[in-house]
Amino acid sequence: MSKMLRNDRLRNIAIIAHVDHGKTTLVDAMFHQSGLFRANQAVDERLMDTMDLERERGITIAAKNCSVVWKNTRINIIDTPGHADFGGEVERALSMADGAILLVDASEGPLPQTRFVLKKALEANLKIVVVINKIDRQDARPDEVLDEIYDLLIDLDATDEQLEFPLLYAVGRDGVAMTSPDARADNLHALLDTIIEEIPGPTHDPMAPFQMLVSDLGYSDYMGRLAVGKIFNGTAHSRDNLVCIAENGRSMPLKVSKLQVYEGMKLVDVDDVQPGDIAVLAGIEDVKIGDTICNRENPKALPRIRVDEPTVSMKFTINNSPFGGKEGKYVQSSRIRERLQKETLRNVAIQVEEVGDRDSILVKGRGEFQLAILIETMRREGYEFCVGRPEAIFHHENGIKMEPLERLMVDCEERFLGVVTEKLSLRKGKMTNMVNNGKGRVRMEFSVPTRTLIGYRDEFLTDTRGTGIMNSLFDGYGEFRGECPSRFTGSIVADRTGTAVAYALFNLEPRGRLFIEPGQPVYEGMIVGEHNRAQDINVNPCKEKKLTNMRASGKDDNVILSPIKPMTLEQAINFIREDELVEVTPLSLRMRKAVLSAQKRHNMRGARE
């Protein structure tokens, strides 16, 4: 057995944190202070969030790579998403890292997503550096947050070695890091020095042949498919003949047409790569995340990246409404299927399954938020299709029906305690913990089935007047907790095709909340509002006022309608029932019945009864 060597000119670190605790802002500051930009260079904020959706929502969706050089050492930084729905991205990112910076908000402390990402980092045996960020907040409580971090690490069975972590305090927005909360600093040098001193360089076996684990995929119009990953052992040169070992052990030959490494946000061409490098390799078409690229003479696969099983599924179908094909560029089932298959190559947490129907395909993922992001991305690319309600994926163990459960953490004002616990008990939730910090706010933990949480987020924000914070995390499978209605109200459904009229909508307002405005086109089976009662109701939103030749004062008063708040994609997906669909086009979002004809729906209901 040859002795393992360490590459001290390199550090591979992942930045892990809960949503909105300041990861991407901190990376920006590291870029500026490592001399990556000229002093007067105009640079965007949140450089790492390159997707439009990430910039709009202020969250990181995909893990990204970049590098900075500090004291002649290249630090490869992997910015990971903080949302548990993008867990597949986190697992990919951690497979490339040797250490992790755990960033925690000085006021909020560790939240469920922090727990999720930290658990993965500990399982991967990474060296952890803890940074308590945003210590300039008025409600900062760094000492209590530090205790909470220790509690979390102990709860996650951290070893004694992992509990002795280096600790720093930071204000990421101002680009400062210090060793104590009261110290003063005007730069991040303490953090960059700590990374080099505390996080080990990547190790490799000098006698082993070349091995690279593919952790990400890219695409270039000039070079085709790009494989991104960490070099575990050996070196490779441009024009080398290598092989790629797939999941089933099949070997595919490849010739390296180009080798690149990260320099800041850019990729630069290199002639060779060393052990520990995060490299981008061109020259193979049929490659998947988790494959190993290695020497032709001595092919040896590395352990594949394993991700948690998906917990939510959603049906994608072609748009067969009367307005189908009017707004989208890609409407055929073959194009939708092709795009979803392409997504599984880039996103290890998404699975696609055939359902026996030529026009439909089942997509499985970690949560409805992850699937909503996929739908929004496809919509912006010009696709037009329909999606069904997200459904939890059940398992059967020893004949017992098991369902996915969520660990839900709720932070709200004391006065909303009653309404939140009442709503969650209706949704089969069980309270497991409650802490009152004595500042008028309480923090509660619940165990809730995944399926009953779908659609609760908007209701929760309404109940807590927008002041509540709710975070959930997959918590394994548990015994099925019984039926629970997904919605307590019915739908107001249009019974004909036409254009909505103000007079008709004014008369429909007492029936419930409307989703459409005058002048909007409607069709039979389209959902135009939410009924006050539990059952559905068919209405005519196109009905015009009868004209007479009689004149009377007050007869021709102008009708004034309540303002309509358009539904977002997530709200629409969460609102629909099992027999309803969301029609998604690049320009519109409409909700509709799966069976459009009112007569057919009536007959089906009669047959069931």
Q: Known binding site for GTP: residues?
A: 20-25, 133-136
CA distance 500 to 53: 32
CA distance 35 to 39: 8
What's the CA angle centered on 440, arms 435 and 442, to 5 degrees?
25
Number of DSSP helices (H) and strands (E) in the chain, helices first: 15, 37
CA distance 406 to 230: 33
Q: What φ, ψ does residue 57 adopt, rounded to 5°? A: -95, -10
* SS3 assignment, position 403: strand
| Tokens standing for residue 444 | 């509660």
> Which region holds residue 290: left if phi is over 0, alpha if psi is between -120 and 50, else beta?
left
Closest CA to 126 of 198, 66, 65, 70: 198
What does each C-alpha distance from 346 to 54, 225, 287, 288, 341 come to in angstroms? Answer: 17, 11, 10, 8, 9
Q: What is the DSSP string of 529-566?
A: EEESSSS-EEE-TTPPPPP-S---TTTTPPP-PPPP-P
Residue positions forming the annotated binding site: 20-25, 133-136
| Tokens standing for residue 310 | 């998906």
| Tokens standing for residue 2 | 């040859």
Max Cα distance, the chain (Å): 103
Helix then strand then coil, % of the chain, to nearest 5: 25, 35, 45
* SS3 assignment, position 166: coil
Task: Report which secondary-structure segment, H or E, holds 23.
Answer: helix 23-33
CA distance 102 to 167: 10
